[in-house]
Chain A
Amino acid sequence: MSDENTEQVVIVGAGPAGLSAARLLVSIGARVLLIDSGERPGGQYWRHGANSSLPEKHDELRIIADPNVEYLPGTNVWTATYLNGISTLHLLIDRNRERMVKTRMLILATGAYDRSLPFPGWDTPGVMTAGGVQALLKGQSTLAGKEFVVAGTGPFLLPVAVGLITAGAKVNAIVEASTPTVWLTKLGGLTRTDGKIGDFATFQKIIMKSKVKMHHGSAVVAAHGADSLERVTVAKIDRQFKIKRGSQKQIACDVLAVGWGFTPDLSLAEALGARNRIEPRDGSLVVDVDIHQATSLPGVYAAGESTGIGGSGLALTEGRIAAIALARDFSLIDSVTSKELMVGLGEKRRKQQSFANALLDVYRVSNGWTTWLKPDTILCRCEETTVGDIRESISGLAVSDARNAKLLTRAGMGLCQGRVCGRAVSELVADECGREVSLKELRGGAKRPVITPIPLGLLAEGNADL
């Protein structure tokens, strides 16, 4: 099935940024096609189960029912192209139907997923991303196990731990790489933004009351268990993330929820050819946008985590700005209306951005994590490439960049297409070669001509426009 109506606005992603853009566009009378890979709207921030009361709290979540919104849940953009101002998106709906959509007006709100750092034993069943444990709990009302350790870095660890505690799980430890000293120096000057500090205090209070032990300046540096997770090694780490000698101890658990911040999802932006850049604060690859959230491709806008990790409040503001800019650029509204709608939004975004930036500084991941690795540590989970394989390719085969490491060791070539290990491989290779990671290497790891697997049979019977 193909859809040649290039005059409808297409939004990819139904998290806070995409929903907020949809809401604004509907309010000015535009028609919106809203595409989302999830079963329910909300993305990672507002993930909820079938019986949740969350939609009552956020007007944005109810926009999917508006007659001017065509909402496609359970839908992946499996590949996309951009030519002469027109974006062509190939959709895979419920993994069994194909549909093609063309549009002149596109908003990317593809969000982010957990950033993972490889460490010995991270491939043991029971080691999960913090987001994965949270998704099971919020989306499926399922506890991933009985005894948890929550680890990594970032403000997201607290709500994950609190969710588990509230659901009655035993949390044996929270292990946070950052330290209160860092918070005080970097967050001290910040004012309250959107009640975020208030949330933080509430989480802290629940954790204190639960008597869960909080380990600061520490990390889980190894996971152990034959067939599934039995315990983890926790160690004190310095600012460079190197293990402090003699500080290691073991903590029992059957689930480790570990997250090192987030990786913006750039698959679609890369497929279209939008310009991207390295965000210096956390070193991640982000979509490059101007003050109107416009990408380098005319008619394509981006909002939310794909333009830099900043939280749901910032995503909401960016979604609105992107929608207003698009509406103005395509004359859906006049310039007077667009100015009125924009009032205060730029300033709000600036404040939210500076708060987000301060958090990225506090919860910085230093590259000393590579010292936790052993030669037999799996680096690429899909292709089972080890750290030793990568090091050998550098010392024995004169590999000097991530691309050649990938070609010779298959790291990043598996089914996930480098989503999990891409950045880690780039960092390890750069580290071994004594240099910084390059934009080219990160881009190479994010380029995926086929974004999500599609059954060959569907392609064979599908439309001839491909």
Chain B
Amino acid sequence: MIEVRVFLNGEPVQAPAGQSVGAFLLTAGHRATRTTRFGGKPRGMFCGIGICFDCLVTIDGATNQRACVTRIVEGMKIKTQDGSGEFE
């Protein structure tokens, strides 16, 4: 797989192009991708196929994107989320 540069919580890192953001985050040690809106509890990938909306992250400024069905592309800005996250 071709490695590209992406930004994970602002830090430049290498990631395999075309891999799912969810798989990349797991490999990078982020079992949780966000905290919940009310309880502030950690949440990570659950269904892995785009059904459950648990593995939410902020991608290029857009909040609540499903990590499991989003593919890594060059320059992508990935942010783990607190609650609903902040739209940029």
Contacts and interface: CB of A to CB of B under 8 A. Distances in A.
Contacts of A131: 47-49
A140 B42 CA distance: 23
Nearest to A263: B51
Contact of A228 (B23, B42, B46, B50): B42
A228 B44 contact: yes
A100 interface: no
Interface string B13-44: 00000111011001100011000111101111
B18 A50 contact: yes
B45 A128 contact: yes
Contacts of B39: 384
B20 A125 contact: no
Contact of B51 (A124, A126, A414, A420): A420
Interface string A248-285: 00000010000000000000000000000000000000
Contact of A381 (B26, B27, B52, B62): B52
A132 B47 CA distance: 5
Nearest to B53: A415
B49 A44 contact: yes
A125 B42 contact: yes
B31 A126 contact: yes
B44 A126 contact: yes
Interface in B39-78: 39, 41-54, 56, 62, 64, 68-69, 71
A133 B51 contact: no
Contact of B43 (A39, A123, A145, A254): A123
A44 B50 CA distance: 12
A123 B35 CA distance: 11
Contacts of B31: 125-126, 145, 227-228, 254
Nearest to A143: B26
B27 A142 contact: yes
A441 interface: no
B85 to A, nearest CB: 13
B48 A133 contact: yes
Interface residues of B, number: 33
Nearest to A140: B23
A144 B45 contact: yes
B4 to A, nearest CB: 15
B48 A135 contact: yes
A86 to B, nearest CB: 28
Interface in A105-136: 113-114, 123-129, 131-133, 135-136
A136 B26 CA distance: 10
Given A123-B43, A127-B46, A384-B39, A416 B20 contact: no
A419 interface: yes
A360 B18 CA distance: 37
B41 A416 contact: no
B32 A113 contact: no
Given A125-B32, A415-B64, A140 B20 contact: yes
A132 B49 contact: yes
A133 B53 CA distance: 16
A458 B22 CA distance: 25
A382 interface: yes
Contact of B49 (A113, A127, A254): A113
Contacts of B27: 142
Given A384-B37, A420-B51, A132 B32 contact: no
A37 interface: yes
24 contacts: A44-B49, A123-B43, A124-B42, A125-B32, A125-B42, A125-B43, A129-B48, A131-B47, A131-B48, A136-B22, A136-B23, A140-B22, A142-B19, A144-B26, A144-B45, A228-B44, A381-B43, A384-B36, A415-B53, A416-B53, A419-B52, A420-B47, A420-B51, A455-B62
Interface of A: 37, 39, 44, 50, 113-114, 123-129, 131-133, 135-136, 139-140, 142, 144-145, 227-228, 254, 381-382, 384, 414-416, 419-420, 453, 455
Given A420-B46, A420-B47, 8 more contacts: A44-B49, A125-B32, A132-B46, A135-B68, A144-B45, A145-B26, A228-B42, A384-B37
